[in-house]
Amino acid sequence: MIDDNVVFIGNKPIMNYVLAVNTQFSGGVKEVVVKARGKAISRAVDVVEIVRNRFITEAKLKDITIGTEEITTKEGTLLKLSSIEIILEK
Amino acid sequence: MIDDNVVFIGNKPIMNYVLAVNTQFSGGVKEVVVKARGKAISRAVDVVEIVRNRFITEAKLKDITIGTEEITTKEGTLLKLSSIEIILEK
């Protein structure tokens, strides 16, 4: 999987990410991976649902995986964060 | 699937839901379905990750599905909310 196919969900307005996914598909890729951690997980599901219900209705959910990532903060403490990876396929 | 196997994630402290899932498994069920809508989706992933990493390490992720639910508010407006359903299997 090349990085170009990945859309990482952060704190920007949700339609920014919807547009990013749509742009990937318009560019000709067959799969887009939507990734998120922590509280952004809900937003990742929103993005995928908006894309496939409103914009690219032929897109299918290929796979959904969840996991736990360990992140070291600037202060040096270890943080465990849930993560999600949703693969959309056209 | 009987309703007893379902843990619906809301706004209570996260460990309440972890305990609810653990209790289901201790009661002898083979599958527990963790459901959430909207912002609680991130918390549902947290609950599942805590259960399977910390408490019931033999539990496996059987299936993860996402969708969109339409909810009518008290004021009568129609709201679209993302949802998740995670099936844990022991």
pLDDT tens digits for B19-69?
999 999 999 999 999 999 999 999 999 999 999 999 999 999 999 999 999
Nearest to A36 by CA among A17, A54, A61: A17
Instruction: Give the whole-angstrom CA distance, residue A26 versus residue A41.
Output: 24
B62-72 per-position pLDDT tens digit:
999 999 999 89
Q: Residue B85, Cβ neighbours under 10 Å: how many?
A: 15
Residue A17 C-alpha, separation from nearest chain B C-alpha, in angstroms: 16
Q: CA–CA distance from A13 to each of A20, A37, B75 (Å)? A: 12, 16, 26
Average the pLDDT over each of A61-65, A84-88, B5-9, B76-80 and give the range with the smallest value: B76-80
The two structure tokens encoding residue B68: 């969109």
User: What are the domain boundaries of chain A?
Assistant: 6-89
| CA gap B82, B59 in Å, rounded | 25
Please give the DSSP secondary-structure letter assigned to residue B76: S
Which pLDDT score is estimated for A3?
A: 57
Within 8 A of A61 by CB-CB distance, chain B residues are 66
Distance, CA of A21 to CA of A6 (rounded, Å): 8
What is the pTM assigned to this prediction? 0.92
The confidence score (pLDDT) of residue B3 equals 57
Q: Taking CB atoms and an 8 Å limit, are B45 and A49 in contact across chains?
A: no
Residues of chain A contacting B82 with CB distance shorter than 8 Å: 42, 45-46, 49
Do A41 and B45 count as a contact with CB atoms less than 8 A apart?
yes
**Complex confidence, ipTM:** 0.90
The CATH architecture annotation of domain B6-89 reads 2-Layer Sandwich (3.30)
Measured CA to CA, the distance from residue B51 to residue B46 in angstroms comes to 9
Q: Are A38 and A81 in contact (CB under 8 A)?
A: yes
pLDDT interval class at A4 (50, 70, 90)? confident
Q: Which residues contact A57 (CB under 8 A, 6 or more apart)?
A: none
